[in-house]
């Protein structure tokens, strides 16, 4: 069965996404390096630099679709190990890998891991100083619902940062990128995990995600102010920022 290029409705989508990340959890970090040729590290560093986390023990960040912890670990380190980060993910296998990595890095005291859905966050209103989500929002079936939830759990003055694959806005680079993602990514996926289909699905989910400007409008619609974006590597990825004021 190939679910790579057929239309997937909202209801089925979450199940497919969960399958993918359940299967790849143990190899997720190495796959990221291979498929982005290491670039995801620089993009994540830039995201956390843009956040500029406060060096304070009462600074609370929620990292949604946090997976194996890459963003949360960087935030805690950037705060001199003072900030408290909650890593939330719908997939217990990804969180399991994350918790183990946190333990090895000696960061467990700054982190909590929560298995839940971005569309329905198990937190009271106005709890967090920042909400981050990296390469996660395109997997969520109802993006508008996830964005309203982000708005709800942020404090006034809180910051939203979304890192996601976006529209390549550089001539030539877009052609190279297409060749890489449609051919190489499913092939590497198969080599490393034994399956190509989940990767075809992920590549397709990138195509379907709104471009920089449309996504900025969705963020505004959820209530955020001063919405801006920055392209990374010609728009292969983009960082969107918004404030709850
Ligand atoms: N943020 C991490 C990173 O940048 O390395 C992980 C990104 S990974 C590509 C996407 C993650 O989104 C997976 O761990 C997946 O389980 C999670 N996810 C998918 N749908 C979700 C949902 N509805 N709510 C919360 N997490 C979700």
User: Domain holding 84: CATH number?
Assistant: 3.40.50.150
Q: Give the chain's residues under pLDDT 70.
A: 1-11
Question: Which alpha helices (H) appear in 3-90, and where do they start and end?
Answer: 10-24, 28-35, 39-51, 70-78
Q: Please report, for the chain, how many H helices and E strands are present, in that order.
A: 10, 7
- Residue list, ligand 1 pocket, CB within 6 Å: 14, 17, 21, 64-67, 70-71, 89-91, 94, 117-119, 134-136, 139-140
Is 194 inside a domain boundary? no
How far are the Cα atoms of 87, 94, 141, 234 from residue 103, in angstroms, in the given order? 14, 15, 32, 36
Burial 172-193 (b: 16+ CB within 10 A, else e): eeeeebeebbeeebbebbeeeb
Return the pLDDT at 195: 78
pTM over the 0.90 mark: yes
57 within 8 A of 64, measured Cβ to Cβ: no
In a domain? residue 7: no
**Helix, strand, or coil here: 85?**
strand
* Residue 3, pLDDT score: 34
**Helix-helix angle 28-35:39-51, to 10 degrees:** 100
* Inter-CA distances, 134 with 161, 162, 239, Å: 8, 6, 9
CB 73 within 8 Å of CB 107: yes
Q: Domain range holding 138?
A: 38-170+210-244
How far away, in angstroms, is 118 Cα from ligand 1 center? 9
User: How close is the Cα of 217 to the center of ligand 1, in Å?
Assistant: 22
Residue 129 lies in a domain: yes
**Would you state the pLDDT for residue 1?**
34
129 labeled part of a ligand binding site: no
Whether this model's ipTM surpasses 0.95 comes out as yes
For residues 219 and 8, what is the distance between their CA atoms, to the nearest angstrom?
A: 24
Please tell me the distance between residue 138's alpha carbon and the centre of ligand 1 in angstroms: 9
pLDDT at site 16: 80
Is residue 196 included in any domain, yes or no? no
Pairing relation of β-strands 154-165 and 128-134? parallel
In whole angstroms, give the CA distance from residue 203 to residue 197: 10
The atom of ligand 1 lying closest to the CA of 133 is: 1
In a domain, 232, yes or no: yes
Which pLDDT value is given to residue 36? 85
- Report CA dihedral (123, 127, 131, 136) to the nearest 10 degrees: 0
The answer to whether the annotation marks 46 as part of a ligand binding site is no
Domain count, the chain: 1
117 annotated ligand binder = yes
Question: Within a domain: residue 120?
Answer: yes
Domain presence at residue 187? no
């Amino acid at each position: 069965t190939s679910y790579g290029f057929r239309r997937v409705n909202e209801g089925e989508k979450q199940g497919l996404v969960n399958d993918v990340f359940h299967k790849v959890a143990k190899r997720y970090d190495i796959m990221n390096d291979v498929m982005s040729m290491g670039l995801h590290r620089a993009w994540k560093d830039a995201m956390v630099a843009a956040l500029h986390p406060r060096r304070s023990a009462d600074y609370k960040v929620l990292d949604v679709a946090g997976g194996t912890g890459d963003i949360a670990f960087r935030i805690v380190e950037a705060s001199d190990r003072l900030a408290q980060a909650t890593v939330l993910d719908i997939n217990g296998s990804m969180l399991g890998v994350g918790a183990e990595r946190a333990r090895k890095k000696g960061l467990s005291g700054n982190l909590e891991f929560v298995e839940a859905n971005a569309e329905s966050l198990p937190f009271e209103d106005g709890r967090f100083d920042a909400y981050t989500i990296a390469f996660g929002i395109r997997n969520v079936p109802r993006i508008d619902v996830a964005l309203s939830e982000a708005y709800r759990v942020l404090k006034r003055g809180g910051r939203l940062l979304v890192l996601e694959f976006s529209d390549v806005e550089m001539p030539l680079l877009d052609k190279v990128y297409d060749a890489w993602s449609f051919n190489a990514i499913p092939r590497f996926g198969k080599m490393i995990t034994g399956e190509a289909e989940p990767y075809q699905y992920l590549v397709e989910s990138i195509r379907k995600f709104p471009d920089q400007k449309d996504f900025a409008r969705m963020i505004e619609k959820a209530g955020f102010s001063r919405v801006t974006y920055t392209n990374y590597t010609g728009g292969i990825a983009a960082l969107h920022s918004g404030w709850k004021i």
